[in-house]
């Protein structure tokens, strides 16, 4: 399952979801199906990563036909999730996009899933809340930086154990925001060094020209 988790996180990040939002969605998928695209539940009435039923399950098959994809592929099911969050489940999608932390993102995901016990007034009463929220928190702590077309098995710089367990602080990956800050800092340092080198070259050229005029 680790490869599927990494792939799903990377897919959602590339699609524009923030790390805490992607973590919440994947946490729900883990609770619903273990991220298995062929999972069947509720006495055969629910299928897929997010255990779609009825009209929503029919919508998955229609989406697969429209896009020419396999309904049982992870790409297809993530694509259908994204479509629902922007169309028929836009209310949940809007709440997810407005979320600012893992808890609020996971609550928005409850609106999308609507498990037994869920109510709009108390989303956290829905079945499996503690597991959903717990997995989302773990995933957010180990969220990968976005990479270009990397194999699913290499999408995280740290091993899968750092996602699922509580690894020593020395081997825990930095948050996505720390990674971004470091990248910007490195870029700024390079630009400063390049500017200093160019300034030194200009000074040498001016000095050389002045000496040539004096002794030429």
pLDDT tens figures, 33-68: 999 999 999 999 999 999 999 999 999 999 999 999
- Contact yes or no for 127/117 (Cβ under 8 A): yes
**For residues 64-75, average pLDDT:** 98
Asked if residue 164 and residue 57 are part of one domain, the reply reads yes
pLDDT for residue 46 = 98
Asked if residue 129 and residue 48 are part of one domain, the reply reads yes
In the chain, the DSSP E strands lie at 40-41, 46-47
| CATH code (residue 158) | 1.10.530.10
Residue 2's pLDDT band, with cuts at 50, 70 and 90, is: confident
Asked if residue 190 and residue 99 are part of one domain, the reply reads no
- Contact yes or no for 93/86 (Cβ under 8 A): yes
pLDDT for residue 144 = 56
Count of the separate structural domains present in the chain: 2
Residue 1's pLDDT band, with cuts at 50, 70 and 90, is: confident
pTM of the predicted protein model: 0.68
Task: Look up tokens 């969220």; give the residue.
Answer: 143
For residue 183, give its domain range.
174-216
- Phi and psi of 119, rounded to 5°? -140, 155
- Cβ count near 118 (within 10 Å): 17
- Contact yes or no for 15/97 (Cβ under 8 A): no
Which residue in 123, 64, 63 sits closest to 92, CA to CA?
123
Asked if residue 168 and residue 134 are part of one domain, the reply reads yes
CA-only gyration radius of the chain, Å: 24
Asked if residue 47 and residue 11 are part of one domain, the reply reads yes
Asked if residue 46 and residue 7 are part of one domain, the reply reads yes
């Amino acid at each position: 399952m680790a490869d599927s988790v990494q792939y799903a996180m990377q897919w959602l990040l590339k699609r524009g979801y923030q790390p805490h939002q992607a973590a919440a969605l994947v946490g729900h998928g883990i609770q619903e199906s273990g991220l298995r695209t062929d999972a069947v539940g509720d006495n055969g009435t629910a299928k897929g990563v997010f255990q779609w039923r009825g009209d929503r399950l029919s919508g998955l098959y229609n989406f697969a036909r429209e896009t020419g994809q396999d309904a049982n592929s992870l790409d297809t099911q993530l694509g259908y999730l994204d479509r629902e969050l922007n169309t028929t489940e836009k209310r949940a999608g809007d709440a997810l996009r407005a979320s600012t932390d893992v808890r609020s993102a996971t609550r928005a995901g409850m609106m999308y899933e609507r498990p037994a016990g869920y109510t709009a007034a108390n989303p956290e009463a829905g079945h499996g809340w503690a597991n959903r929220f717990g997995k989302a928190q773990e995933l957010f702590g180990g969220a990968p930086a976005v990479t270009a077309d990397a194999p699913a098995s290499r999408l995280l710089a740290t091993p899968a154990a750092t996602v699922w367990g509580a690894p020593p602080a020395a081997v825990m990956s930095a948050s996505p925001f720390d990674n971004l800050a470091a990248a910007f800092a490195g870029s700024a340092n390079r630009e400063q060094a390049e500017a200093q080198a160019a300034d030194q070259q200009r000074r040498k050229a001016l000095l050389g020209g002045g000496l040539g005029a004096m002794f030429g």
